[in-house]
Amino acid sequence: MSTQTQRARRGFALPTAILVILVMTIMIAAGFSLVSAERRSVSDQKSQISAFELAEQGLELFLIRRDSLLPGASRIPGAKDSVRVTFDNGYADVSLTRLRPVQGTLSGLYVVRSRGVETVGRYAGSPEGVRTVAQYVLWEPAPMQVLAGWTALSGLDKNGNAGTLGGTDLCGSADAVAGVAVPLNPGFTGDSTAADSIATITMDDVKIDWASIVNQNVMQPSITIPGGSWPTSTQWADTTFYPIIRVNGDFTPPSSGRGMLIVTGALTLNGSVGWKGVLLVGGDIVSNGTNSISGATVSGLNVKLGTYVPSSVGNGTKQYNYNSCEVSKATAPAGALVTLRNTWVDNWVEY
């Protein structure tokens, strides 16, 4: 074999080795690229799942803790509320939008949207994971059982036949109730001409947890007296103003008003002072003059605490009438957001 042939054979090995190394390098690079793409894909899926969890947590926390997340906000949601709920690995931007306000006994309709964003733990170079969920909800007023236009657990004495103690719904959207509801003893005394009808009840028929209202403050007041002040004429001029006012002790309102008035002691109404909404009174009511009450009245509730309460007294022309719309407005601030079944979505369109 010639020297030339041997040299040619030695020269063939080097290009072959280079080619093999090149092919292996390409294969290794392709493998790394595939692994990187797989890791990115898995990371994107993980980010989407994390963002979904953040969105769902934000929505649920908002429904449960709206008052603490939005301190100072109106108890009844307005046209739109929004808040950012922060978590360890991201946040959720939650908004509540009103679609229909509370109308009489019709609940307010809202949609709550939660946009979850993961900001921690994502793959380098990948965008933040984002998901949005939504739910339709109702603002439901606190339910209230109404037995009569005036329910008097310690009895009622009506002096004179002028006026109306009525159980026909002035709003026209609910069934009629009794004009007056009293226990058998001491019952109703005086002239019954003004009463639509008189129902006999027991203490247990009144499904109001007065002990929890008085001792556990389950009904969060807008104003507490003493401490707070009776609303001004400017506040009462706003016809949408329906506060929950709690008075500890006996009370004589200086003016007419609306909303829910909770009085732990006795209540005295003089002159033409009236009320639209709900009166919950622990003691007796002494109603003097031409008082007009539209909504629902319950007196003598301290009987449920084992305390003696004298009979309430209605002197002169009385207008104590049931009005379901006024009851609904008065109990609305003590309501809550209630989810509508089968309205949750995780594909809410965003622009």
Q: What is the pLDDT of residues 40-72, one digit of tens each?
A: 555 566 777 888 889 999 999 998 888 788 887
pLDDT top residue among 10 and 103: 103
Q: pLDDT band at 83, cuts 50/70/90?
A: very high
What is residue 250's predicted lDDT score, i.e. its pLDDT?
96
What is residue 1's predicted lDDT score, i.e. its pLDDT?
47
What is residue 194's predicted lDDT score, i.e. its pLDDT?
83
* Max mean pLDDT range (65-79, 118-132, 225-239): 225-239
CA 23/CA 276 separation, integer angstroms: 88
- Say which residue the tokens 């369109």 belong to: 349
Q: Locate the domains of the chain by residue range.
A: 1-141+335-351, 148-334
The tens digit of pLDDT for each residue in 194-215 reads 888 999 999 999 999 999 999 9
The tens digit of pLDDT for each residue in 86-125 reads 998 889 999 999 998 877 667 789 999 999 998 876 656 6
Tokens found for residue 71: 């301190």
3-state secondary structure of 338: strand
Nearest to 313 by CA among 183, 177, 162, 159: 159
**CB burial readout 88-121, b (16+ within 10 A) else e:** ebbbbbbbbbbeebbeeeebbbbbbbbbbbbbee
Tokens found for residue 236: 């009462």
* Max mean pLDDT range (20-34, 154-168, 334-348): 154-168
**CB burial readout 75-84, b (16+ within 10 A) else e:** bbbeeebebe
